[in-house]
C-alpha cells in the first residue's frame, strides 16, 4: 500500500540507492577497488598495445595500482559524502510526506491513499474491510491542566499503544488533533470490535506521568465501521459509520467502543 514511499524510492537510480546504502566506508572501499581494477586493466592493455617490454609491465602495473589507491579515495571522498547525505535527506523527506511529526505514525494523507487502494481491493475481492476511529477522552482538560508538552506525550503514548496492539498489516494514522484512525483490511465487524476492545484496554493501561510525577488517567473512545462483502454502498460510508459510532461512544460515557 505504500504507494507514496514506492514512488519516491523508484525515482532514485538503483545504483545510487545501493551505493548510499553501503555507507561512507564501504562505498569508498568499493569505488577504490573498482578504480584499481580499471587502472590495472587499462594500463595492461596500453602496455600490450604499445609493445612495452614484458619485464617493465609488472613495474608499470604496480605503479598504476599505487596511483589508483592514492587518487581514488581522495577523488571520490566528496562525491560519496554528498551522495550519502543526499540519500539520507531523500529518505527523511519521504518519511515526512507519509508520517506525522509528533507521533511518528502515518499521517492523514497517507491513510487516504491506503484507504482508496484498499477500498478498490475490497470491492474487487468481495472481502470485508473495517475502520476504527479513535479519539482521546477529555484531551482539552489534559492540555489545560498539565500543559501542551504533557498533552503531546499523551498523544505519543496513545499512538504507541495503538500501534503495538494492531496487526502488522493494519494502517494506523493520526487523523487530526487528538483523533486517530486505523484501517483494518479483510476484517469483519466482530473482529474489528475485538481489536477495538484491545486498543481501548491498552490505552487505559498506559502509565503517563505529569511534570510533577502525577499519574494521568488516559482513555480513548472508539467507533467501528465495517464494509461487508455483500454491501453495495460506497466504501467512504464506513468512515461516516465509524465517526457516528465514535460520537455515540463519547455520548454514552467515553472509554468504550461502539459500532
Contact 158, 136 (CB under 8 A): yes
Indicate which residue of 54, 178, 197, 236 is catalytic: 178
Grid coordinates representing 222 are 472508539
Query: Sign of torsion, CA 28 29 33 39?
Result: positive
In the chain, DSSP finds a helix count (H) and a strand count (E) of 9, 7
- Give the end-to-end CA distance of the chain in Å, rounded to a whole number: 26
Rounded to whole angstroms, the Cα distance separating 162 from 204 reads 11
Q: Is 194 a catalytic residue?
A: no
Give the 3-state DSSP-derived string for 100-150, with helices as H, strands as E and coil as C. Answer: CCCCCCECHHHHHHHHHHHHHHHHHHCCCEEEEEEEECCHHHHHHHHCHHH
| Cβ proximity of 223 and 247 under 8 Å | yes
CA distance 145 to 217: 12
- Residues 6 or more apart whose CB falls under 8 angstroms from that of 190 comprise none
**CB-based burial label for 69 (10 Å; 0-12, 13-18, 19+):** middle
> What are the residue numbers of the active site?
178
Amino acid at each position: 500500500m505504500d504507494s507514496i514511499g514506492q514512488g519516491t524510492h523508484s525515482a532514485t537510480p538503483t545504483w545510487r540507492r545501493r551505493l548510499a546504502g553501503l555507507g561512507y566506508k564501504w562505498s569508498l572501499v568499493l569505488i577504490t577497488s573498482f578504480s584499481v581494477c580499471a587502472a590495472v586493466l587499462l594500463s595492461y592493455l596500453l602496455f600490450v598495445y604499445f609493445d612495452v617490454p614484458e619485464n617493465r609491465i609488472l613495474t608499470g602495473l604496480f605503479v598504476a595500482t599505487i596511483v589508483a589507491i592514492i587518487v581514488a579515495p581522495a577523488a571520490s571522498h566528496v562525491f560519496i559524502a554528498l551522495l550519502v547525505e543526499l540519500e539520507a535527506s531523500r529518505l527523511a523527506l519521504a518519511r515526512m510526506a507519509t508520517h506525522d511529526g509528533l507521533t511518528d505514525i502515518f499521517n492523514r494523507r497517507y491513510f487516504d491513499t491506503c484507504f482508496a487502494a484498499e477500498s478498490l481491493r475490497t470491492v474487487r475481492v468481495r472481502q470485508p474491510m473495517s475502520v476504527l476511529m479513535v479519539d482521546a477522552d477529555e484531551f482539552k482538560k489534559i492540555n489545560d491542566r498539565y500543559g501542551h508538552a504533557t498533552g503531546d506525550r499523551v498523544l505519543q503514548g496513545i499512538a504507541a499503544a495503538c500501534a503495538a496492539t494492531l496487526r502488522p498489516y493494519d494502517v494506523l494514522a493520526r487523523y487530526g488533533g487528538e483523533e486517530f484512525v486505523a484501517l483494518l483490511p479483510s476484517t469483519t465487524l466482530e473482529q474489528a470490535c475485538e481489536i477495538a476492545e484491545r486498543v481501548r484496554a491498552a490505552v487505559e493501561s498506559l502509565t503517563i506521568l505529569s511534570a510533577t510525577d502525577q499519574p494521568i488517567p488516559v482513555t480513548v473512545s472508539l467507533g467501528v465501521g465495517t464494509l461487508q462483502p455483500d454491501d453495495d454502498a460506497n466504501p467512504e460510508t464506513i468512515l461516516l459509520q465509524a465517526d457516528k459510532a465514535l460520537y455515540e461512544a463519547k455520548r454514552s460515557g467515553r472509554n468504550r467502543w461502539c459500532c
